[in-house]
Structure 1
């Protein structure tokens, strides 16, 4: 099967996956015993007002009729209006999602550039001091609660030492120019506004490190396991017997094959970060998708819940597709089929 045929087939399957997510999310949100209109207006709202708004929003129609209306609108990119913010859901997602992309990307860079070298060190120095340090670092990262680490870092580097700024994406007295991508670090570079750039960079260090450390722990463990398996294979032993330098054996011959399971973990971890890290975003007052979705659940804002869920499903589908494509570049024996 040719590459473009494989991509088209996967995109077709992605459409069916998203449709399945939409169906399940819609009917679950509409069959649970909850009244979003009453939750928004409060218990003292007149019944006539509640019924009027329910009629205006179409909530008094049969569920299957509401579904087909929602499906038709969704195909046009219209996910309805958020009951909480009174904005179109698509507008809210465009506002909050870039903040999550910015945080997740920086955190993933930290996870990759720390996790892979530590995993290689742990495998090469098996049962030696380097292995023990890397494994201990990984174990602490997997065991430590994210909210606890976030609070400790804020206490030390913001409150005690004053080296880094507090919660938020940027200082309140700074006003970035009109957003292009919504990612402050990128937009400030486009505008050449280096004051905004360095201020935003300082704000993102702590939340990105919290998420990046958790990602590092997973990457270290899978890299170590995969490298240990590859280093015992015959072709690696043959490369050593030929007199090749150990660095060439490790980085040119062993690492490429060992990266296949590591790539899977990186792709899925990045997809998880793009969902929005609720605790991290809450502690650091980061206006991302996680906080938006949490508020939508608490306020029974079903349009926002369904729109955000579809976005998350799309993210994971694309992450899986990218990982599968990378497999073929890492291992020429893999064919698209």
Structure 2
């Protein structure tokens, strides 16, 4: 089988498995939500509401039906791309919640990923280029610490040091409550500020974004540092690298052009997996910094047992991760001719 045919078969098989993965995730979430103790009607009306009123609301929401009937209704709504209506937002649909809150999460994820790549790749290169030295040991320690440190802990530590004690950054939120955010159609304050030419709003947006994005990016940078360090060390021992050195090519060019290009191929693969970790980490970061994103909204929905909102947001996240994973696999297959599927 030729490489093109094999790649086409792989892409087709992944596309067929994508709905199965999303269905599995949504089914598990549906069952777990209903297996946990508590009643969403109590979260809506309060525990002291009359039982007659509770029964009426439960009937209106379909919570009195058997679980298999609720599940069939849930799947039917998903097939119609209907994520449902929030139980705790006064009739607001889940799609409206995604529209309003996801831009903040996307902006945080983009900047955090950029910081994670910059720090992780830089430290990995420095560590691999100086093997068996204190710099190499420091790089390994950095990777271990950032990979294992709790995200919420590092966020609270940064808040305590840089916000409370030093006063350099705000404690949380996305924009000053006394000012109007930049107007635009993307919902990303930095992009909308650039498009409108409002550089003052751009500076304010970056100022409020700096601490939460650096906290999340720093923790995720350990993943890239370990991958770059290990792969770059192996690549620097390859025959074609030794041949480049024998031809008198400067060591800096050998490192950055010949070795690093191949050592970064696994980084592309890990990007898809890191996206899932970033979405999970965004929940903790948004809650810690009171960031008005979709992760924070998910946390509120879980605490209020808002079934449709929790299910809808997780389905949305699952679709993003599945699409990103497939895209990363395809890109990786094209940039690495050694891959065979």
TM-score (normalizing by structure 1)? 0.91
**Which residue number in structure 1 is paired with residue 239 of structure 2?**
234
**Which residue number in structure 2 is paired with residue 95 of structure 1?**
100
In the TM superposition, what is the alpha-carbon distance from 1:152 to its structure 2 partner? 3.0
Aligned equivalents of 1:40, 1:52: Cα separation in 2:
12
> What whole-Å deviation, never above 9, does each CA across 1:47-78 have from its counterpart, x for those lacking one?
11111111111222233332222222222321
> What whole-Å deviation, never above 9, does each CA across 1:121-170 have from its counterpart, x for those lacking one?
11110112322332333333234433333233223333333333331101
In the TM superposition, what is the alpha-carbon distance from 1:6 to its structure 2 partner? 4.8
**Which residue number in structure 2 is paired with residue 76 of structure 1?**
80
Of the three residues 276, 281, 301, the one matched with 1:296 is 301
> What whole-Å deviation, never above 9, does each CA across 1:238-278 have from its counterpart, x for those lacking one?
22222222223222222222223222333322332124523
Structure 1 residues 176, 5: CA separation in 2 closer, same or farther (over 3 Å shift)? farther
**Which residue number in structure 1 is paired with residue 248 of structure 2?**
243
**Which residue number in structure 2 is paired with residue 184 of structure 1?**
189
Structure 1 residues 101, 128: CA separation in 2 closer, same or farther (over 3 Å shift)? same
In the TM superposition, what is the alpha-carbon distance from 1:296 to its structure 2 partner? 1.5
Gaps of 5+ in 1: none
Matches within 5 A, 1:271-286: 271-286=276-291
Of the three residues 174, 183, 206, the one matched with 1:201 is 206
**Which residue number in structure 2 is paired with residue 110 of structure 1?**
115
Of the three residues 51, 71, 78, the one matched with 1:47 is 51
Aligned equivalents of 1:177, 1:231: Cα separation in 2:
48
TM-score (normalizing by structure 2)? 0.90
In the TM superposition, what is the alpha-carbon distance from 1:88 to its structure 2 partner? 0.8
**Which residue number in structure 2 is paired with residue 57 of structure 1?**
61
> Does the 8 A contact of 2:182 with 2:189 survive in 1?
no
Of the three residues 5, 12, 17, the one matched with 1:13 is 17
Aligned equivalents of 1:283, 1:26: Cα separation in 2:
27
Secondary structure of the corresponding residue to residue 174 of structure 1: coil
Of the three residues 142, 149, 154, the one matched with 2:154 is 149
> Does the 8 A contact of 1:274 with 1:315 survive in 2?
no
Q: Bigger CA drift: 176-185 or 109-118?
A: 176-185
**Which residue number in structure 1 is paired with residue 271 of structure 2?**
266
Gaps of 5+ in 2: none
> Does the 8 A contact of 1:227 with 1:258 survive in 2?
yes
Structure 1 residues 34, 144: CA separation in 2 closer, same or farther (over 3 Å shift)? closer
Secondary structure of the corresponding residue to residue 248 of structure 2: coil
> What whole-Å deviation, never above 9, does each CA across 1:198-247 have from its counterpart, x for those lacking one?
10100011111111111112211111111112222222222222222222
Q: Bigger CA drift: 191-200 or 62-71?
A: 62-71
Aligned equivalents of 2:171, 2:32: Cα separation in 1:
39
> Does the 8 A contact of 2:115 with 2:221 survive in 1?
yes
> Does the 8 A contact of 2:287 with 2:299 survive in 1?
no
**Which residue number in structure 2 is paired with residue 321 of structure 1?**
326
Secondary structure of the corresponding residue to residue 264 of structure 2: helix
> Does the 8 A contact of 1:119 with 1:221 survive in 2?
yes
> Does the 8 A contact of 2:273 with 2:325 survive in 1?
yes
In the TM superposition, what is the alpha-carbon distance from 1:33 to its structure 2 partner? 4.5
Structure 1 residues 65, 143: CA separation in 2 closer, same or farther (over 3 Å shift)? closer
